[in-house]
Structure 1
Amino acid sequence: MLSTLRNAWKIPDLRKRILFTLLMLFIFRLGSSIPVPGIDTGYIADMFESQEGGVLDFLNLMAGGAFKQFTIFALNIYPYITASIILQLLTIAIPRLEALAKEGDEGRKKIAQYTRYATVVLALVQATAYSIGFFRNALIETDILSVIVVVVTLTAGTAFLMWLGEQITDKGIGNGISLIIFVGIVSRIPGGIFKVTNLFVEGFVNIFEIIAFLIVAVIIIAGVIAIQQGQRKIPVQYAKRVVGRKMYGGQSTHIPLKVLMAGVIPVIFATSILAFPQTLTLFFKGGFGDFVQKYFTMNSTIGTWIYSVLNVILIIFFTYFYTALQFNPIEYAKNLKQHGGFIPGIRPGRPTSEFLNRVTSRITIVGAIALAFISTLPVLLNTVTNLNIRFGGTALLIVVGVALETMKQIESQMLMRHYKGFLK
């Protein structure tokens, strides 16, 4: 891995992309330290201490500490993720959006534009809800102008992060949105280590519980790498054809169908959806809030099991959903037929698309179940230990998955320049 990075640094174009990515991520971390004007951050810190281990800690973890400090990036990139989920679901339900998705780059650009508009609207609603709702007592001044300043600042911060992520994707290395989440989580690791160390010194956890968590962490890392690298190779044969005086085709190749085409996107989507009802409890107290706290959070035994089951179901659903968006067996079979290719033993056309669909469904369920198990394992471990690792599994899963995908992108760039990387 270090050799790959060292060789990548020697390539001017890749070095420029890496530096650009690092610069954008540095700007993200810099903005995460700029507080929103007109907010008493001490009051918010006291709220976090009184609700330790709840949804506030989760939102703060994914925001890289910006939520607790209530900085300009307090909302982070999650309004964009929510908007993406909504638009992708509507693509299936609304024929107009489905037609746009099939129009190639121009259609995708139009859907991306709709996603940006939806992101700003969601960020505006969320910023307003936080400002005049849950964090109202944190406002230094409660006049309309002060509230507008806070709402506009939070909304602008999310819009800027969305732009920052798109710039990283276009001009840098890796997926910009995923890297922003990655950096936010990684920035909290030193604080997490310090917290566990204090728990150990004070006697709240023992060495065996820490070892158990480290073993689970190693299993997660190994599991993510295994399912990310796993693939089913479908043999393809191209028929010979004569064009003029030259003969083309006749070679054999294969279609590499990945076990987990969706990567860690299903985990991010599932986490965002499960955080929504917990976020509502910040604004609705009494019967509804108590119901959600008991049955849809990890603050109770029954809530932990319901949360785990819903997490598994959502991860499996989004794995299939995102795989269907990325790989279309009908289009693939059509292109294969047009270029004179066929799968040995399978007739071209519809039989080929049915075969590819069947194989994709079988390998996707393996990847989806493995992904759900790896994500849920630390949550269940938390029920039998005193370690406060409620979101450790999801965070570690995202970190390893994003790091692996980014390194694979670096290697694919290097392979084009005849370099050999560390991924086989």
Structure 2
Amino acid sequence: MKKFFTTLSNIWKIEDLRVRITNTLLFLLIYRVGSFVVLPGVNAAIASTQKAEGLVGLLNMFAGGSFSRSSIFALGVMPYISASIVVQLLGIAVPYFTKLQKEGESGRNKLNQWTRYLTIGITFLQAIGYLKSQVAADARTIADPFTFIFLNTFVLTAGTLFVMWLGEKITDKGIGNGISLIIMVGIIAQLPGAFATEFISRNGGAGGLIAFIVEIVALIGVVMFTILIVQGTRKISVQYAKRIVGNKQYGGVRQYIPLKVNAAGVMPIIFAQALMFIPQTVSQFFPNVSSNGILIALANYNSWEHNLLFGILIILFTYFYTAITVNPNQMADDMKKNGGFIPGIKPGRTTAEFIDGVISRITLPGSVFLAIIAIIPALASLVGVSPIFARFFGGTSLIILVGVVLDTLQQIESHLLMRHYDGLMKTGRIKGRTAMPAAAGTSPTAI
């Protein structure tokens, strides 16, 4: 406990870190306050009684409750994330975007501009759909539907752009990972209410407090398991040739390439969830086929058919996303240019094949474990956990929470170590987060 307070004191002593943490808290406070500002022409009392279940519940969690409250930040940063995914996929399929990805800083700036433009378009379309489907007619105080939708479409679009600006400011002026921190704060904001709901239901119903304690222990176990998956790496030794230039020696040291067990991050779950929403969408637009037994089973989040297909899609998307984000050929070329080689492996094509084989072997258990984490909320619901509380037992929300918290701790720890203070951990650095890669292509996948 003494070391904990000493660490907090050291953090406060570093002026740059203190300012960055203060800025981050200030920007996050602005976001949370704005999430309670209701759209113009909406009755706040009626809007706050809307239920958020299924897909709506998931979106509401990412938006910190703004979605169900009909807030000006109702869409949150989800349109920006969708635009980022589209631009990233265009970088694989379209030569122009592929070229931009290889142009360094100028290329990244152009890609960011394209992402912002696409965010405006996606937000505009999602705002219209949100206003038509999620804001009840009795909650509207503006009688003319066209005026109501026209006005609030611009308000929602401006709200999303403002949240995106806050995220960028947190990245520049705060402790980094601005968009991820905004999502994390939105998820954490739902946690106290979920705890209270589950405690009340258990205290006055089945299982009692013993069942609630068991659930908390299980939740801690799932969090620890998720940390192992997020932190897990396979280290490949790399030896660099020794060179003598003048009176100085270069190279001659051994480093390693840390290949992550879950290199795809949370993206496979997001892609798989997008496909699993199709049966529910089909049943809404085509009532004649909504009575189909298979369609009903796939639309039910607790059915074994839904979770089996969901798990298979996650495994497939993990392989797909790992293949497009980790490039063994580029890693082998970078090592060869820098005079590096894997002991016992020939440089060049043989090295690329070796790295590709290692990635394929570690991706299998990583994808299976990711699928297990994704379906744990459904399993928790089947054993009696309330749907709101079950969302924290796994899935996208838990992986985002774990990943963002670890990255934030790593940012703080790097500031401490840079100024010769002890790290956050008693035994040194946070394992798995601060290792310097020996070659390109091993950076963590952004949310």
Structure 2 length-normalised TM: 0.84
Asked if structure 1 preserves the Cα contact closer than 8 Å seen for 2:238 and 2:254, the reply is yes
What SS does structure 2 have at the residue aligned with 1:236? strand
Whole-Å separation in 2 of the counterparts to 1:283 and 1:155: 26
Asked if structure 1 preserves the Cα contact closer than 8 Å seen for 2:203 and 2:209, the reply is no
Q: How does 1:6-85 map to 2 (within 5 A)?
A: 6-48=9-51, 53-85=53-85
Asked if structure 2 preserves the Cα contact closer than 8 Å seen for 1:133 and 1:283, the reply is no
Of stretches 70-79 and 397-406 in structure 1, the one that deviates more from structure 2 is: 397-406
- Is 1:353 the counterpart of 2:355 in the alignment? no
Whole-Å separation in 2 of the counterparts to 1:208 and 1:298: 29
Q: How does 1:327-406 map to 2 (within 5 A)?
A: 327-388=326-387, 389-392=389-392, 393-394=394-395, 395-406=397-408
How far does the alpha carbon of each residue in 1:185-227 deviate from its partner, in whole angstroms, 9 at most, with x for none? 1111111111112212331554454344223312221112212
How far does the alpha carbon of each residue in 1:21-56 deviate from its partner, in whole angstroms, 9 at most, with x for none? 1111111101101111101234434442xxx64333
Whole-Å separation in 2 of the counterparts to 1:100 and 1:14: 33
The structure-2 alpha-carbon separation of the partners of 1:18 and 1:322, relative to structure 1 and needing over 3 Å to count, comes to: farther
Whole-Å separation in 2 of the counterparts to 1:276 and 1:83: 20
Q: How does 1:98-137 map to 2 (within 5 A)?
A: 98-135=98-135, 137=137
The structure-2 alpha-carbon separation of the partners of 1:198 and 1:246, relative to structure 1 and needing over 3 Å to count, comes to: closer
Whole-Å separation in 2 of the counterparts to 1:235 and 1:84: 33
Of stretches 239-248 and 104-113 in structure 1, the one that deviates more from structure 2 is: 239-248
What SS does structure 2 have at the residue aligned with 1:187? helix
Whole-Å separation in 2 of the counterparts to 1:228 and 1:200: 32
Whole-Å separation in 2 of the counterparts to 1:322 and 1:418: 38
The structure-2 alpha-carbon separation of the partners of 1:148 and 1:126, relative to structure 1 and needing over 3 Å to count, comes to: same
What SS does structure 1 have at the residue aligned with 2:384? coil
Q: How does 1:89-168 map to 2 (within 5 A)?
A: 89-135=89-135, 137=137, 138-143=139-144, 144-168=146-170
Of stretches 247-256 and 67-76 in structure 1, the one that deviates more from structure 2 is: 247-256
What SS does structure 2 have at the residue aligned with 1:391? helix
Whole-Å separation in 1 of the counterparts to 2:99 and 2:8: 41
Whole-Å separation in 2 of the counterparts to 1:112 and 1:289: 41
Which amino acid is 1:19 matched to? T
Q: Choose which of 235, 238, 254 in structure 1 pairs with 2:237.
A: 235
Q: How does 1:199-210 map to 2 (within 5 A)?
A: 199-204=201-206, 206-210=208-212
2:287 matched residue in structure 1 = 286
The structure-2 alpha-carbon separation of the partners of 1:172 and 1:289, relative to structure 1 and needing over 3 Å to count, comes to: farther
Asked if structure 1 preserves the Cα contact closer than 8 Å seen for 2:198 and 2:385, the reply is no
Q: How does 1:152-301 map to 2 (within 5 A)?
A: 152-204=154-206, 206-268=208-270, 270-271=272-273, 274=276, 280=281, 284=285, 286-287=287-288, 294-298=296-300, 301=302
Asked if structure 2 preserves the Cα contact closer than 8 Å seen for 1:36 and 1:153, the reply is yes
Structure 1 length-normalised TM: 0.88
Which amino acid is 2:405 matched to? A
Whole-Å separation in 2 of the counterparts to 1:293 and 1:331: 43
Asked if structure 2 preserves the Cα contact closer than 8 Å seen for 1:134 and 1:282, the reply is no
Asked if structure 2 preserves the Cα contact closer than 8 Å seen for 1:85 and 1:269, the reply is no
What SS does structure 2 have at the residue aligned with 1:9? helix
Whole-Å separation in 1 of the counterparts to 2:226 and 2:172: 26
How many equivalent pairs are there? 417
Whole-Å separation in 2 of the counterparts to 1:205 and 1:94: 56
Which amino acid is 1:181 matched to? I
Which amino acid is 2:142 matched to? E
How far does the alpha carbon of each residue in 1:345-378 deviate from its partner, in whole angstroms, 9 at most, with x for none? 0111111122122212222332222222123223
Whole-Å separation in 1 of the counterparts to 2:212 and 2:352: 49
Task: Please list every run of 5 or more consecutive structure 1 residues that lacks an aligned counterpart in the other structure.
Answer: none
Of stretches 305-314 and 346-355 in structure 1, the one that deviates more from structure 2 is: 305-314
What SS does structure 1 have at the residue aligned with 2:373? helix
CA shift at 1:283, angstroms? 6.8
Of stretches 384-393 and 212-221 in structure 1, the one that deviates more from structure 2 is: 384-393
What SS does structure 1 have at the residue aligned with 2:103? coil
The structure-2 alpha-carbon separation of the partners of 1:315 and 1:14, relative to structure 1 and needing over 3 Å to count, comes to: farther
How far does the alpha carbon of each residue in 1:150-173 deviate from its partner, in whole angstroms, 9 at most, with x for none? 111111111111121122223322
Whole-Å separation in 2 of the counterparts to 1:283 and 1:159: 30
The structure-2 alpha-carbon separation of the partners of 1:72 and 1:167, relative to structure 1 and needing over 3 Å to count, comes to: same
Which amino acid is 1:126 matched to? Q
CA shift at 1:123, angstroms? 0.9
Task: Please list every run of 5 or more consecutive structure 2 residues that lacks an aligned counterpart in the other structure.
Answer: 432-447
CA shift at 1:262, angstroms? 3.8
What SS does structure 2 have at the residue aligned with 1:74? coil
How far does the alpha carbon of each residue in 1:240-289 deviate from its partner, in whole angstroms, 9 at most, with x for none? 223234332222222222222344454455456645765x4897483466
Which amino acid is 2:25 matched to? L
Of stretches 69-78 and 109-118 in structure 1, the one that deviates more from structure 2 is: 109-118
Whole-Å separation in 2 of the counterparts to 1:208 and 1:359: 44
The structure-2 alpha-carbon separation of the partners of 1:54 and 1:133, relative to structure 1 and needing over 3 Å to count, comes to: closer
